[in-house]
Structure 1
Amino acid sequence: MSHPHEPVAGKLVVSVLSADFPTVWQPVLAALQAHFGPVEIAYAARPFAHTAYYNDELGTPLVRRLLAFTPLLPQDALGPAKCFTNAVEERLARPDGSRLVNLDPGLVTCERFVLATGKNYTHRIYLGQGIFGDLTLVFQAGSWQTLPWTFPDYAAPDMLARLTDVRCRYRRDLREAVPRINPPEKEPTCPKA
């Protein structure tokens, strides 16, 4: 029989996608840090051309920045995190209600990367509050493995490299969270990098 227990918190990342970074960057960064705590790393902006899905609403050319936050986030807080980022999107929207920015929070753990979404699909698990968890990538045999439904932008080599860096930072956070006086067998375990 399995015995329920609280899982180790994950490393929060947020994808910031916009065609109007000069307008949205500072307000988005301020809102996210006020809610989630300090950003540990903001990866350089990269052009986003993996899909035209967002073009009509957000405009072009689209640019993405990936943020990783210093505080770890309980895994059951991913749904509320998406509700918060949705509220930020709405607050910064144009007068007609169309968005200026798309914010996608996700959690990196040793085993997986899960994105939060408001859209249901066969492989997504309901988290509550109208939010689903999308198992986007799994970490096996020393690297991220894509799945049949992994979005092409999250399967791209530059994104995988960034998420590998986030995972390394996360593993460091787990090691540092365990007091050194504890015996080694009590340290968190993760698959080897």
Structure 2
Amino acid sequence: MGSPTPPDKALLFIGTLFSNEDYYIEAQQSLERIFGEIVMETPAIKWDFSDYYKDELGESIYRRFVFFKKLIHQENLSTIKLITNELEKSLSSDVNGVRRRNINLDPGYLTPAKIVLASTKDYSHRIYLKDGIYAEVTLIFKKGQFIPHINTYRDYQDEKYLRIFMIARKLLNILRQSEGQRTDFKSVRVSKIKD
């Protein structure tokens, strides 16, 4: 019989979607005040995987990921999702009497074995956490690379995203070493991210 042990801390990241860079900058500054120093920020990557966010965010949508220096306890993901939802609301606008988001903030965390995202929506592959928040394993690390599941969002299957998360995985190793946590994976080759 196995004995329960506390999990290692994880690397917090937030995926942002926006069309107006000003909202991104405002959100980024707020996120840094809330969660601490941003240790890695990706360039803006054109997001054209669906029309789902077009009515809210506009025509030309971009994705940026921000990764935070302070590692988190994995069980805090639901609280983090509630915080980012409130930040989204604070940056929303009234358009013809309808409240519209100007930025989408999707928190998740990275461990050596997986990428986990938070969601307010239940589905077959999601596990309930608390306070109306669910978690899903979006990517798993296998044979030296991140690979998607059957329900992984199309953008998270993109080569640019996979390269970003490989870099972030190496970053996690460095941050864990600086916190004195154990590390149980090998270095990975880091590729330059190009749009």
What TM-score do the two structures reach when normalised by structure 2? 0.91
Q: Which amino acid aligns with 2:109?
A: L
Partner of 1:147: 149
- Alpha-carbon contact 1:142-1:192 (below 8 Å) kept: no
1:6-49 CA distances to partner (integer Å, 9 max, x unpaired)? 10110011011011112x12220121011110100111001100
Q: Which amino acid aligns with 1:139?
A: F
Q: Which amino acid aligns with 1:190?
A: F
Partner of 1:190: 185
1:112-144 CA distances to partner (integer Å, 9 max, x unpaired)? 000101011001011101110011000011000
Q: Which amino acid aligns with 1:189?
A: D
Partner of 1:11: 11
- Alpha-carbon contact 2:16-2:64 (below 8 Å) kept: yes
Q: Which amino acid aligns with 2:36?
A: G
Identity level (%): 29
RMSD, matched Cα: 1.4
Alpha-carbon distance in 1 for matches of 2:69, 2:187: 22
- Alpha-carbon contact 1:89-1:101 (below 8 Å) kept: yes
Alpha-carbon distance in 2 for matches of 1:106, 1:191: 22
- Give how far 1:72 is off: 0.4
- Alpha-carbon contact 1:50-1:152 (below 8 Å) kept: yes
Alpha-carbon distance in 2 for matches of 1:134, 1:80: 15
- Give how far 1:191 is off: 6.4
Residue segments in structure 1 that go unaligned for 5+ positions in a row: 180-186
2:104 to 96, 102, 105: 102
Partner of 1:183: none
1:191/1:136 Cα in 2 relative to 1: closer, same or farther (>3 Å)? farther
Residue segments in structure 2 that go unaligned for 5+ positions in a row: 189-195
Partner of 1:32: 31
Partner of 1:167: 169
2:150 alignment partner, SS class? coil
